[in-house]
């Protein structure tokens, strides 16, 4: 059975490619004329020609269409012949559209590129889908099935039915069936066919199903209309559940961004009590470190690009840590116990750092690329999860746990806590308090730096990067309770989730305002935040 099926498909495919030269020796001439005519006319005319060409079912057209979508199709100005060409400065390397063989080189000035717009790209996507539905390559077939599904049309029905009959790969077959169902809803087939199609579509249970059925709803009546209405109602209720889950996920993801930005400040401000206005600039410097690392990788070791973030992490930690150390030694240590002066001095430092970066790297955004494992997303039931957000959630958790470990389980952490709780006692026990201060500040700055590496993936890398995080960071630390890491965690996540749950109902602008009002009210009631420290250290 299996063997027979495979044979069947191979035969079908062979028919297309082996019989094509015989049956289409004349058609090939036509094809060439049609292909050459792609170089003329406006977008909608070209789109019609693509549809016409794809009806020939000639699989050799696929590279031509792919080149068209990629903008690699050129027309020779003198005789209007169309070529597939790769541009290399001013020279084009030409390929024949029918034979796929090299056709020499040409000067760019003698050719005109065939322009594409979204309409054409859609037409090409559908055409390639239809042409490759019978391809022996599983990946290609899957892509073809998806593209036929995303733009269903009556014309594709017969082809789909042939493809379904010979398909034995489960997932591909079900997409093909859904594509067929979507096409049936657009056709004038019998009522029973359409009702069956509605059932097939509902099984998808996602937004695409919603979209197809809503479109069909308009021109359906009687039994079919009732079916569709019921199906839509069901889909809406399923979607509402997923939406709730999605909002909570968004909240966690926003919360983890806030956590990353604030956790360094939780050390410098929370533990040491320094109002560090230059905290945001440490984040910014971390992001610029990522940019520099990527620039070096791009120019010298392009194959390492996916590792760029991992290389940038320790570098960013060291660089911002060192800068933090020198700020502490050079400025802040003279200002302990004078919070206003500290605030002004660190604010000055933040301006200097910003303008410094602006002078070196320029005022405009710098491109920090996403490694392949951080771009795109995947569907999880009815939710869309994007990789960059997912990794940032994981990364924030990892940074938080590491920091907790350092504070609670290492000697340095012990000394740090000792110094902040009772400086005199710690000093008389032989702890070098000035050095602990310096290293604590360096640690907080270093963590801000690695936060910058992560945030470069979702934000602009510009000199203003840090400014936009400083207020949020202070908000989280104060809300969570000064001096308590767990408070920072709970503060960040609850602010994130509340923000994202409010946003769909009252909009982003009002949501942000409401959050600020809530925080003000909360601080009025509990000035020390969620988790207030108790004990002598607080009163001191």
Partner 1 sequence: MNIKACMTGVLLAGLLSATALQGAFAAEDTIKIGILHSLSGTMAISETTLKDAMLMLIDEQNKKGGVLGKKLEAVVVDPASDWPLFAEKARDLIEKDKVAAVFGCWTSVSRKSVLPVFKELDNLLFYPVQYEGEESERNVFYTGAAPNQQAIPAVDYLAENEGVERWVLAGTDYVYPRTTNKILEAYLKAKGVAAEDIMVSYTPFGHKDWQTIVSDIKKFGSAGKKTAVVSTINGDANVPFYKELGNQGVKAEDIPVVAFSVGEEELAGLDTTPLVGHLAAWNYFQSVDTPTNAEFIKTWRAYTKNEKRVTNDPMEAHYIGFNMWVKAVEAAGTTEPDKVIDSIVGVSVPNLSGGYSTMMPNHHITKPVLIGEIQSDGQFETVFKTPGLLVGDEWSDYLPDSKNLISDWRKPMSCGNFNVATGKCGGKGS
Interface ranges with partner 1 (CB under 8 A):
43-44, 71, 115, 117-119, 121-122, 125, 150, 207-208, 210-218, 239, 243, 246-247, 250, 253-254, 257, 354-355, 358, 362-367, 369-370, 375-377, 384, 386-389, 458-464, 467-468, 500, 503-504, 507-509, 512
User: Least Å distance between CB 463 and partner 1?
Assistant: 8
9 or 204: CB nearest partner 1: 204
Residue 16 or residue 502: which is nearer to partner 1 going by CB?
502
CA distances from 532 to 270, 473, 483, 492 (A): 11, 18, 8, 16
User: Which CB, 136 or 356, lies closer to partner 1?
Assistant: 356
Min. distance of Cβ 442 from partner 1 in angstroms?
27
Q: In the complex with partner 1, which residue's Cβ is closer, 314 or 504?
A: 504
Residue 506: CB minimum distance to partner 1, A: 11
Closest separation between CB of residue 358 and partner 1, Å? 7
Smallest separation (angstroms) from partner 1 to the CB of 530: 22
Our CB check for partner 1 shows the closer of 210 and 482 to be 210
**186: Cα within 13 Å, side-chain hemisphere:** 17
Ramachandran angles phi, psi of 381, nearest 5°:
60, -125
User: Alpha helix locations (H) across 410-484?
Assistant: 411-421, 423-428, 433-455, 467-480
* Pick 6 or 372: Cβ nearer partner 1: 372
Nearest residue to 466 via CA among 254, 288, 295: 288
Angstrom CA distances, 247 to 209, 211, 455, stand at 21, 21, 21
Cα–Cα distance for residue pair 51/262, rounded to 1 Å: 55
Cβ closest to partner 1, residue 276 vs residue 457: 457
- Looking from the CA of 77 toward its CB, the CA atoms found within 13 Å total 8
Residue number with CB closer to partner 1 (326 or 388):
388
Report the DSSP beta bridge partners of residue 75: 82, 112
Minimum Å gap between C-beta 249 and partner 1 is 8
Q: Is 199 exposed, middle or buried (0-12, 13-18, 19+ CB in 10 A)?
A: exposed
Helices (H), ranges, 114-190: 118-132, 138-150, 157-166, 170-186
Instruction: Tell me how long the chain is.
Output: 540
As to burial, measured by CB atoms within 10 angstroms (0-12 exposed, 13-18 middle, 19+ buried), residue 302 is: exposed
Q: Which is nearer to partner 1, 227 or 503 (CB)?
A: 503
Minimum CB separation of residue 268 from partner 1 in Å reads 23
Cβ partners under 8 Å of residue 19, min gap 6: none
DSSP bridge partners of 95:
84, 102
Q: State the nearest-atom distance from the C-beta of 354 to partner 1, in Å.
A: 8
Q: How far is CA 105 from CA 87, 96, 108, 247, in A?
A: 10, 11, 9, 55
E strands, 154-247, in order: none
Output the smallest distance, CB 387 to partner 1, in A: 7
Beta carbon of residue 84, minimum distance to partner 1 (angstroms, whole number): 17
Nearest to partner 1 of 373, 412 (CB atom): 373
Cβ closer to partner 1: 60 or 194? 194
- How big is the CA angle at 141 (ends 139 and 144), to the nearest 5 degrees? 110
DSSP run (H or E) holding 85: strand 82-88
Least CB distance from residue 210 to partner 1, whole Å?
Answer: 5
Say how far apart CA 527 and CA 523 lie, in whole Å. 5
CA distances from residue 180 to 126, 146, 267, 418 in whole angstroms, order as listed: 14, 11, 59, 70
């Amino acid at each position: 059975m299996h063997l027979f099926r495979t044979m069947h498909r191979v035969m079908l495919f062979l028919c297309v490619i082996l019989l094509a030269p015989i049956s289409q020796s004349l058609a090939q001439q036509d094809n060439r004329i049609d292909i050459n005519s792609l170089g003329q006319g406006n977008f909608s005319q070209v789109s019609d020609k693509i549809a016409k060409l794809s009806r020939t079912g000639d699989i050799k057209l696929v590279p031509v269409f792919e080149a068209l979508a990629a903008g690699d199709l050129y027309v020779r100005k003198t005789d209007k012949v169309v070529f597939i060409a790769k541009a290399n400065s001013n020279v084009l390397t030409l390929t024949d559209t029918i034979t796929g063989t090299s056709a020499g080189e040409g000067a760019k000035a003698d050719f005109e590129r065939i322009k594409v717009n979204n309409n054409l790209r859609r037409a090409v996507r559908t055409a390639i889908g239809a042409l490759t539905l019978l391809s022996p390559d599983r990946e290609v077939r899957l892509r073809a099935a998806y593209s036929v599904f995303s733009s269903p049309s009556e014309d594709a029905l017969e082809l789909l039915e042939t493809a379904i009959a010979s398909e034995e790969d489960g997932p591909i077959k079900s997409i093909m069936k859904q594509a067929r169902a979507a096409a049936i809803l657009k056709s004038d087939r019998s009522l029973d066919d359409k009702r069956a199609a509605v059932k097939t579509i509902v099984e998808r249970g996602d937004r695409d199903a919603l979209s197809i059925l809503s479109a069909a709803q308009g021109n359906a009546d009687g039994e079919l209309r009732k079916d569709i209405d019921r199906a839509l109602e069901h889909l809406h209720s399923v979607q509402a559940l997923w939406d709730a889950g999605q909002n909570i996920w968004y909240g966690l993801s926003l919360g983890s961004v806030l956590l990353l930005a604030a956790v360094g400040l939780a050390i410098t401000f929370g533990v040491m009590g320094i109002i560090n206005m230059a905290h945001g600039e440490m984040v910014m410097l971390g992001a610029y470190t990522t940019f520099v690392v990527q620039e070096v990788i791009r120019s010298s070791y392009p194959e390492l690009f996916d590792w760029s973030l991992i290389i940038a992490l320790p570098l960013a930690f060291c660089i911002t840590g060192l800068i933090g150390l020198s700020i502490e030694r050079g400025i802040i240590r003279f200002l302990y116990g004078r919070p206003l002066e500290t605030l002004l001095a660190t604010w000055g430092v933040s301006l200097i750092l910003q303008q410094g970066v602006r002078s070196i790297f320029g005022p405009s955004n710098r491109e920090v690329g996403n490694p392949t494992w951080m771009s795109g997303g995947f569907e999880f039931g009815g939710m869309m999860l994007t990789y960059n957000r997912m990794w940032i959630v994981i990364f924030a958790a990892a940074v938080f746990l590491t920091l907790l470990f350092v504070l609670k389980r290492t000697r340095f952490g012990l000394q740090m806590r000792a110094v902040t709780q009772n400086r005199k006692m710690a000093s008389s026990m032989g702890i070098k308090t000035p050095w602990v201060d310096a290293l604590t500040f360096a640690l907080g700055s270093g963590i801000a730096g690695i936060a910058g590496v992560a945030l470069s993936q979702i934000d602009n890398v510009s000199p203003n990067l840090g400014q936009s995080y400083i207020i949020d960071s202070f908000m989280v630390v104060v809300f969570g309770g000064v001096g308590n890491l767990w408070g920072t965690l709970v503060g960040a996540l609850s602010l994130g989730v509340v923000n994202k749950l409010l946003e769909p109902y009252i909009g982003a602008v009002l949501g942000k305002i409401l959050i600020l009002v809530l925080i003000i009210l909360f601080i009025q009631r509990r000035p020390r935040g969620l988790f207030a420290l108790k004990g002598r250290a607080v009163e001191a």
